[in-house]
Amino acid sequence: MAPTLSEVYGDHPLHLQHIIPIDFNSFRSLPDSHVWSQTSDDGLFSSSSLPSSSLPVIDLMDPNASELIGQACESWGAFQLTGHDIPMKLIDEVDSEARRLFALPADRKMKALRSPGGAAGYGVARISPFFPKNMWHEGFTIMGCSKDHAKELWPHDYQRFCETMEEYEKQMKDLSHHLVRMILNYLNIFKDEQVKWIGSTMESTALQLNSYPCCPEPNRAMGLAPHTDTSLITLLHQTQMISGLQIHKDGVGWVPVHPVSGAFVVNVGDLLHILSNGRFPSVLHRVTVNQTRQRFSVAYFYSPPADFTVSPQLSPKPLSSSPGGGEQVARYRSVMVEEYSGMKAKYYQKALSLIKNN
């Protein structure tokens, strides 16, 4: 049986200092461990103000949706998706369960702490060991069933949480299938053996609840440090219309992604970047925090099964009309999902360069 992704993370155990968040409520000023810049006005978070630079919003019902999605993946590595049929009621329930979780006292949340070799549970972001400073962020990762952790949080009332998250993951999976089919079609990948994993039930998925508490000095703190997702695609919901997410666009800089009601931010992850032979950028993104409003987000990571080998898709003939496309030489070697995830856990942003062909 193929290993699951959570087992992959077990090969890279972390120290507790890289798992346990601080008790954010107990700080009136920013502790030095969380200071990312020395002055409050040096533009740590300055973002592009060009009016033309905003992430495309695409309606899934648009007859041209496939083409628009492919183009957005190519030029931005991301887009906002509306017109999907995920019920708003379900999204609101997930949001309120996430709030219920993060509102628990710090000692209660600690009962669901991620184990050093585990991937699921409460803790700081997995990427924390790769940065010299800590992030103003706490997360709860769900891989498979969340029952054991939820029972620790709410011994007599965990079912509501588990059922809501399960239903949401089911719906996210269906939507991911739909999007991935459109995207692979755009890349001319439709040979049976290349797409047989879609809907195979062995896909690697994870749900990440993010909380960014109110921060005493938001200009000197970092919500989530710049990173790319390991996934094929990520479907992110920013709840309560609070901004914070920024994505990096070459030649433009950091672009804020203001929440659109009911929309998902869909972004290309490393695995799709590799599969597209670099044609789709794996978009670098980060999160800022604010002083008065705690922000929450919910990210669903979708990847092929752990034992699936991702091979860069070469174009059959040069496409002179598309600048990023048409490459006939593989920029990366083929890599198994499991192997790449392990490399990312160990080497973080260097992982991509390690599989680059010269």
Ligand X SMILES: C=C1C[C@]23C[C@H]1CC[C@H]2[C@@]12CCC[C@@](C)(C(=O)O1)[C@H]2[C@@H]3C(=O)O
Ligand Y SMILES: O=C(O)CCC(=O)C(=O)O
The footprint of Fe ion (CB under 5 A) covers 229
Q: Tell me the window of 63-71, 198-206, 238-246, 344-352 that interacts with ligand Y (CB under 6 A).
A: 238-246
Q: Minimal distance in Å, beta carbon 206 to ligand X?
A: 4
> Please, which residue, 68 or 136, has the CB nearer to ligand X?
136
Among 12, 114, 227, 285, binds ligand X (CB under 6 A): 227
Check: CB of residue 344 under 8 Å from CB of residue 129: no
Q: Minimal distance in Å, beta carbon 9 to ligand Y?
A: 15
Say which of 114, 126, 286, 295 is annotated catalytic: 295
HSE toward the beta carbon, residue 179, CA cutoff 13 A: 34
Q: Minimal distance in Å, beta carbon 319 to ligand Y?
A: 31
Q: Is 230 in the site for ligand X (CB under 6 A)?
A: yes
Among 74, 229, 270, 338, binds ligand Y (CB under 6 A): 229
| Residue 331 a catalytic site member | no
Dist CA 228 CA 93 (whole Å): 28
Q: Is 295 in the site for ligand X (CB under 6 A)?
A: no
Q: Is 215 in the site for ligand Y (CB under 6 A)?
A: no
Residue 305's binding partner out of ligand X, ligand Y, Fe ion, none, with CB under 5 to 8 Å set by partner kind: none
Residue 296 structure tokens:
């929450």
Q: Is 208 in the site for ligand Y (CB under 6 A)?
A: yes
> Please, which residue, 60 or 138, has the CB nearer to ligand X?
138
Q: Is 141 in the site for ligand X (CB under 6 A)?
A: yes
Residue 219's binding partner out of ligand X, Fe ion, ligand Y, none, with CB under 5 to 8 Å set by partner kind: none
Among 297, 303, 313, 341, binds ligand Y (CB under 6 A): 297
Q: Is 236 in the site for ligand Y (CB under 6 A)?
A: yes
Residue nearest to Fe ion (CB): 229
Q: Minimal distance in Å, beta carbon 205 to ligand X?
A: 8
Q: Is 119 in the site for ligand Y (CB under 6 A)?
A: no
In three state form, how does the secondary structure of the chain look? CCCCHHHHHHCCCCCHHHCCCCCHHHCCCCCHHHCCCCCCCCCCCCCCCCCCCCCCEEECCCCCHHHHHHHHHHHCCEEEEECCCCCHHHHHHHHHHHHHHHCCCHHHHHHHECCCCCCCEEECCCCHHHCCCCCCCEEEEECCCCHHHHHHHCCCCCHHHHHHHHHHHHHHHHHHHHHHHHHHHHCCCCCHHHHCCCCCCCCEEEEEEEEECCCCCHHHCCCEEEECCCCCEEEEEEHHHCCCEEEEECCCEEEECCCCCCCEEEEECHHHHHHCCCCCCCCCEEECCCCCCCEEEEEEEEECCCCCEECCCCCCCCCCCCCCCCCCCCCECCEEHHHHHHHHHHHHHHHHHHCECC
Give the relative orientation of helices 159-186 and 65-75 as an angle to the nearest 10 degrees.
Answer: 90
Give whole-number Cα distances, 252 to 1, 15, 55, 121, 273, in Å: 45, 37, 12, 36, 20
Among 109, 220, 273, 344, binds ligand X (CB under 6 A): 344
Residue 126's binding partner out of ligand X, ligand Y, Fe ion, none, with CB under 5 to 8 Å set by partner kind: ligand X
Residue 73's binding partner out of ligand Y, Fe ion, ligand X, none, with CB under 5 to 8 Å set by partner kind: none
Among 22, 90, 110, 127, binds ligand X (CB under 6 A): 127
> Please, which residue, 72 or 125, has the CB nearer to ligand X?
125
Closest alpha carbon to 228 in 279, 180, 268, 182 = 268
Residue nearest to ligand Y (CB): 297
Q: Minimal distance in Å, beta carbon 328 to ligand X?
A: 30
Binding-site ranges for ligand X (CB under 6 A): 5, 119, 125-127, 141, 206, 208, 227, 229-231, 301, 344
Residues that are catalytic: 295
Interface positions with ligand Y (CB under 6 A): 208, 210, 224, 229, 236, 238, 244-245, 285, 287, 297, 299
